[in-house]
């Protein structure tokens, strides 16, 4: 007989970000329903279902189905030290972005040159991607040069029970607020690319570069979701907590 799982009411009141923080596999379920779990991760399950007109019971059933599958406890970002988590984000997500951006730029520019006359959306996509590149390169630099070094300092200070130097930006909440606004903006830019590209669907008979450009943009967006999710829903709240603890 099939085991029936029930989701408690308090779990319905959890935010989407909290649910994905506990188990990243559940991000797939939210993607399926078109629910933003990274930038919009601070809304509860019930709130998001109401605003997106999603059937809460169907969503809960899909989330519970994930619980039945074996998980990978070693990938629990919540249990990692914050200095290690910063290094992880830089060495995986930032590194990927640095590598993927010039390639996607090249493909979108090629598609624009070849098809821009008849398909104006590819011109828009190429231009929006340039904005994504400019903004996100600067964003990652701020994280790597300012925010992450401070988070690492906090983590090391806690471990060695040493005092910390007060940063020029005051509380960590200030740069974090700025990073979250920038995440929102890049998320909006990528979502307009998704709409313009009809969910990354190249037209019938499209050339290889066209298909590749869309496939790479989709891959970029997927990576971006996980990247922003780790920062917004795990790294940043834990860093704020740690700063409060030490201060």
Closest separation in Å from C-beta 186 to Fe ion: 8
For residues 59 and 147, which CB has a smaller minimum distance to Fe ion in the complex? 147
Closest separation in Å from C-beta 5 to Fe ion: 34
For residues 44 and 81, which CB has a smaller minimum distance to Fe ion in the complex? 81
Quick one: tokens of 205? 């008979």
DSSP character for 26? G
Closest separation in Å from C-beta 235 to Fe ion: 9
Q: How far is CA 94 from CA 68, 89, 227, in A?
A: 32, 6, 8
- CA 226, CA 101: separation in Å to the nearest integer? 17
Beta carbons within 8 Å of 19's beta carbon, 6+ residues apart: 11, 26, 37, 45, 63
Closest separation in Å from C-beta 232 to Fe ion: 8
Quick one: tokens of 93? 């997500």
For residues 82 and 213, which CB has a smaller minimum distance to Fe ion in the complex? 82
Closest separation in Å from C-beta 54 to Fe ion: 27
Q: How far is CA 56 from CA 50, 59, 96, 110, in A?
A: 8, 5, 35, 43
- CA 180, CA 237: separation in Å to the nearest integer? 11
Q: Residue length, the chain?
A: 247
For residues 112 and 231, which CB has a smaller minimum distance to Fe ion in the complex? 231
Beta carbons within 8 Å of 100's beta carbon, 6+ residues apart: 216, 219, 220, 223
For residues 60 and 93, which CB has a smaller minimum distance to Fe ion in the complex? 93
For residues 26 and 183, which CB has a smaller minimum distance to Fe ion in the complex? 183
Closest separation in Å from C-beta 56 to Fe ion: 30
Closest separation in Å from C-beta 202 to Fe ion: 29
Q: What are the residues binding Fe ion (CB under 5 A)?
A: 143, 231
DSSP assignment of 191-213, as one string? Answer: HHHHHHTTTT-PPTT--HHHHHH
For residues 36 and 143, which CB has a smaller minimum distance to Fe ion in the complex? 143
- Using the structure block, give the residue that is written with the tokens 């039945």: 68
């Amino acid at each position: 007989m099939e085991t029936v799982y029930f989701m408690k009411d308090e779990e319905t009141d959890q935010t989407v970000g909290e649910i994905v923080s506990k188990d990243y596999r559940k991000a797939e379920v939210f993607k399926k329903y078109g629910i933003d779990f990274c930038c919009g991760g601070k809304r509860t399950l019930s709130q998001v279902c109401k605003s997106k007109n999603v059937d809460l019971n169907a969503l809960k059933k899909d989330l519970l189905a994930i619980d039945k599958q074996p998980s990978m406890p070693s990938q629990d970002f919540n249990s990692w030290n914050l200095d290690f988590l910063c290094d992880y984000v830089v060495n995986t997500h930032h590194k990927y972005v640095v590598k993927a951006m010039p390639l996607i730029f090249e493909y979108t520019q090629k598609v624009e040159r070849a098809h821009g006359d008849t398909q104006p959306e590819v011109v828009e996509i190429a231009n929006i991607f340039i904005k994504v590149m400019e903004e996100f390169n600067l964003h990652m630099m701020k994280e790597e040069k300012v925010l992450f070094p401070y988070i690492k300092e906090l983590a090391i200070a806690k471990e060695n029970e040493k005092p910390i130097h007060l940063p020029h930006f005051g509380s960590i909440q200030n740069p974090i607020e700025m990073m979250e606004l920038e995440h929102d903006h890049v998320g909006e830019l990528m979502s307009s690319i998704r709409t313009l590209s009809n969910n990354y669907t190249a037209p019938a008979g499209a050339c290889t570069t066209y298909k590749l450009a869309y496939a790479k943009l989709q891959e970029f967006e997927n990576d971006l979701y996980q990247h922003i999710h780790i920062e917004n829903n795990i790294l940043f709240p834990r860093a704020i907590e740690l700063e409060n603890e030490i201060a």
